[in-house]
Amino acid sequence: MLVEQIKQSELHEVAQIHKQVFARQRMSFEWLECNFNAFPRFLFYVISSEAEVGVEVGVEVETEILGYIIWSQKSGFRPQAIMELEQIAILPSHQGKGVGTQLIQDSLKLVKTQLKKQDSVLKHITVSTRVDNAAQRLYKKELGAVVEATITNLYSADEVFMVARNV
């Protein structure tokens, strides 16, 4: 699998993932496009699979986007950046197979590279999610994030605010 910065031509495919994963949200393409257009405040990456096809005629590589992640820089461009894992989505058919883990790990390296270009380093990471979202375990394992607060009835349910400090 390959993690790289999203290309504008991939927004429609990624919007289909957004629609599947976040059924309560609307205007998927527009939401993702405005995040794409806000670079470098928002850092937007996709994870793709590669499969060889047409072996008897010659090898071609076909890719499928399996998911995406959006990181946002909080409270301005600072020497020590606070990043929020704004949104992550993996195709339902690929959830629970390590795709999210790889997407977080590989995109975080790319985030740190981008921050270095801005003469900045990563200080903390924040993430919020529904209190009942099993992804909390992933955020704790991969980022070291811990629950700092619970906010009742914020979006569709109670929301936890997690922080990974000094990453």
Which tens digits make up the pLDDT trace of 1-37?
999 999 999 999 999 999 999 999 999 999 999 999 9
CA angle 73, 4, 145 (to 5 degrees): 45
CA atoms in the 13 A half-sphere facing the CB of 115 = 23
Across residues 52-80, what is the average pLDDT?
Answer: 82
- Looking at the chain, the whole-number percentage of residues with pLDDT higher than 90 is 87
Domain CATH for 106: 3.40.630.30
Q: How confident is the model at residue 61 (pLDDT cuts 50, 70, 90)?
A: low
Task: Give the number of domains in the chain.
Answer: 1
Burial classification of residue 131, based on how many CB atoms lie within 10 Å of its CB (0-12 exposed, 13-18 middle, 19 or more buried) = middle
Across residues 99-109, what is the average pLDDT?
Answer: 98
Q: How confident is the model at residue 128 (pLDDT cuts 50, 70, 90)?
A: very high
- Residue numbers of the domain that contains 137: 2-164
Q: How confident is the model at residue 155 (pLDDT cuts 50, 70, 90)?
A: confident
Amino acid at 39: F
Identify the residue whose tokens are 């991939």.
Answer: 10
